[in-house]
Amino acid sequence: MCQAVHPLSSSIPSRMAALLELSSGRIFNRRLIWYCKQVSLLELLGIREVFGKGGTKKMRLIDNQGRLFGKVNLIDFLLILVVLGAVAFGVYKMTQGEVVINAPEKTVTVQFYGNALYPFVVENIKEGDTIRSLESNDVIGKIVKIDEVKEAINLVSTADGRTVISEIPDKYSIYFTVEGKASLVNNILQAGSTPLLAGHELKIKGTSFTMFSVISKVQTK
């Protein structure tokens, strides 16, 4: 009965053929024809065999050993897909779905503040020096101006409960301005992967020094 539906249905296993024979007297012909069509469709899709023109057998999609195209184990293939999906999901969660497409670069000026620095550190902070993030090595820009150098200060609590400003002997604070390029990522200016935000604490380095700093001001041109 199934052979009348499709010539490829001759490859139905004997157990299935027996089942159809036993069922032929108890189910509607229309239902049986539909079932045969599904089996033929599975064969055409290569679940059992893949055929070329004229019905000539070319190769099995899944062989008798459960391998895809006779090369890759089907279970291994599915496990690989699961692992790749998990990795892609993890990357998405870590980046919080950020997608940057051709983000235009802008010229920015960033003012850095450093406090309680040794004199030999301050002496090496010079105009024209390139400033990078110590952690990521992102280039932030070049120093264009030393804005202010003065005695370092600290907040000290007194015996009567007051908080006063006290100078730190032999140490200095400094403000200097850096000019460079940054991209706007999710409305945040970034030099590479380094966010340029006022109040952001950042360890930076120049040609001959390194220091802890705080970004005090960010402006675009």
* pLDDT tens per residue across span 167-188: 999 999 999 999 999 999 988 9
DSSP category for residue 9: G
**Domain ranges in the chain?**
2-61, 68-97, 105-220
Kindly report the pTM of this predicted structure.
0.56
CB neighbour list of residue 212: distance below 8 Å, 6 or more residues apart: 114, 201, 202, 203
SS3 29: helix
Residues 45 and 60: their CA atoms lie apart, in Å, by 11
Residues 43-61 have a mean pLDDT of 48
| Residue 39: closest CA among 11, 74, 67, 69 | 11
Average pLDDT, the chain: 78
Tally Cβ neighbours within 10 Å of residue 108: 20
pLDDT of residue 30: 56
Tokens of 210: 């390194």
- State which H helix or E strand residue 76 sits in: helix 74-95
Residues 124 and 210: their CA atoms lie apart, in Å, by 9
* pLDDT tens per residue across span 55-74: 445 555 556 655 666 666 66
- Sign, Cα dihedral of 16, 21, 22, 24: positive
Phi, psi of 150 (to 5 degrees): -150, 175
Share of the chain above pLDDT 70, in %: 61
